[in-house]
Amino acid sequence: MTRRPAIDTVGPGLDPGAVSLPGVLMQAITHIAPAVGLIFTVQAISGVAGVASPFALAFAALAMASVAVSVVQLSRKISSAGGYFTWVSATLGPRAGFFVAWIFLLFEPIGAGINIAFLGGILQATFKAEYGYDLAWWVTAMVGCLVLTAVSYFGLRLSIRFVVVMGAFEILVCVALALTSLVHPGRGGLNLTPFNPANATSLNGLFLGVVFAIFAFAGFEEVAPLAEESREPARTLPRAVVLSLLITGVFLLFTSWGILVGWGTSDLSSFVSGGSPVLTLAHRLWGAGWILILVALINSAVGVGIAVQNASTRVIFGMARAGALPAALAKIHPVHRTPVNAVWMQSIITAIVALGGGLAFGAIGVLTFAAVIITLLVIVIYTAGNLATWLLYSRKYPREYRRITHLVVPIVSSIILIYVGYKTVRPLPSGVDKWAPAVAAGWFVLGLLVVAVLSTTGHRQWMTHAGVAIATDEPPAPAGEAASSVPTASR
């Protein structure tokens, strides 16, 4: 593989200043998918952790808060569209930065497809149970792919409007159901037992619940690729990261507690074994109004798909603009100012993942399979970011170095993440999900081999250019200036 020189984009460029803080914030929140988390993840966590699933969510939220400390500290000094890719490249070098980019290219682009397939499975089961109509899951998946493509094609401003409206709607509806559940509790009455870890099925089950919970929060930092189109990105992006984690953390803790109490903490076995217990609970409490929860689920799946499309297409575009991917992917639509060919490429990936994953693992099972892969890979990225925090402040900003903030918190965060990764694979997940760690490990090893081959064949400069492309969405400097092309720190 040879490195092509950086190219000029075809078209007027992306749309600077298209998104303000509320839009960037909802990009992060919808990437986390609050309603999907409540309807799917809480049931999955309860299946392994028992009634203590809100505690598992709280533990995961604290772990993510420790990760957010590094995100904020790094973004204060290095403001760019690439987030972790920039930070790792600037502190650990181009090889590590390229490797982090490699990991990103597996777990982020598949997010839209797995959620659309999952939505298709839920709608198929729901329509059959409610109306006796068998709506094939793949029909929903294909319609979803078309919607995501259209929204992404016609501009970031349009897609962010969708995200803001849908995100606000799903949060309000789910909170309303949780409040209703607390007012009308099931067997066991109104209680706080879900927050007591002693009520977990086992310690191992509790940590398995944390694994699913971390998957639920993953993506809170995926606003970085919008930096070029955000207003005051150096200020807006860090705020969006922190606020999105805070809002979704409170949301999932409150709503999961409300749903479990409303179902009945003394009747958890039926909650775990039920097809869609949150929809069933909405039926019981709201009657015909249960449809609002179904709409919130649709909103959530489409919303996370849009958020993934926004993030992935900007990364693909940035790599193409630097010559790391085919030049055609750097084309900008002359009117809508979107990376039009990157949108088409991401849409093809979404369709392949949705249909292929649904056929291979089941429309609902594909989300569980992907959850294990994504959890393992984000642990690698988050840990690399923790190391980058220590290196950046201890070496470049020694006067601002704080032992607790820049050393202790990153170490504690990394230990938690690594242990969660260990509990993900020991014991191995059951059924077909046992192969998910092998997929993640295979991608990890393949990435190391790619980096080794590029390094030994004189392509280290190519990796530097690719890393800068992802990091900054700006064409890298000529070959002789690569060392200075890594983003400089800014206050």
Convert the pLDDT of each residue in 343-389 to its tens digit.
999 999 999 999 999 999 888 888 888 888 888 888 999 999 999 99
Average of per-residue pLDDT values in the chain: 82
Q: Would the pLDDT of 1 be above 80?
A: no
Q: How far is CA 414 from CA 159, 379, 390, 454, in A?
A: 34, 8, 12, 29
Per-residue model confidence (pLDDT) at position 256: 94
Q: How far is CA 408 from CA 62, 386, 401, 491, in A?
A: 15, 10, 12, 23
SS3 state at 10: strand
SS3 state at 491: coil
Convert the pLDDT of each residue in 175-197 to its tens digit.
999 999 999 999 999 999 999 99
- For residues 128-134, average pLDDT: 87
Categorize the per-residue pLDDT at 238 as very low, low, confident or very high, splitting at 50, 70 and 90. confident
CA 442, CA 86: separation in Å to the nearest integer?
24
Q: Would the pLDDT of 249 be above 70?
A: yes
Taking Cα atoms as reference points, which of 40, 32, 46 lies closest to residue 368? 40
Taking Cα atoms as reference points, which of 267, 370, 265 lies closest to residue 36? 370
Convert the pLDDT of each residue in 470-486 to its tens digit.
444 443 343 333 333 33
Per-residue model confidence (pLDDT) at position 487: 39
Cis peptide before 334 (omega within 30 of 0): no
Per-residue model confidence (pLDDT) at position 475: 38
Are residues 170 and 300 in contact, defined by beta-carbon separation less than 8 angstroms? yes
Per-residue model confidence (pLDDT) at position 410: 95
Question: When comparing pLDDT for 26 and 222, which is higher?
Answer: 26
Convert the pLDDT of each residue in 415-445 to its tens digit.
988 988 888 888 787 788 889 999 999 999 9
Specify the DSSP class assigned to residue 186: -
Which residue type sits at 316? Answer: I
Per-residue model confidence (pLDDT) at position 392: 93
Per-residue model confidence (pLDDT) at position 14: 62
Categorize the per-residue pLDDT at 120 as very low, low, confident or very high, splitting at 50, 70 and 90. very high
Q: How far is CA 245 from CA 31, 58, 69, 154, 249, in A?
A: 11, 12, 11, 29, 6
Which residue type sits at 24? Answer: V
> Cα torsion for 32, 290, 114, 300, to the nearest 10°?
-30
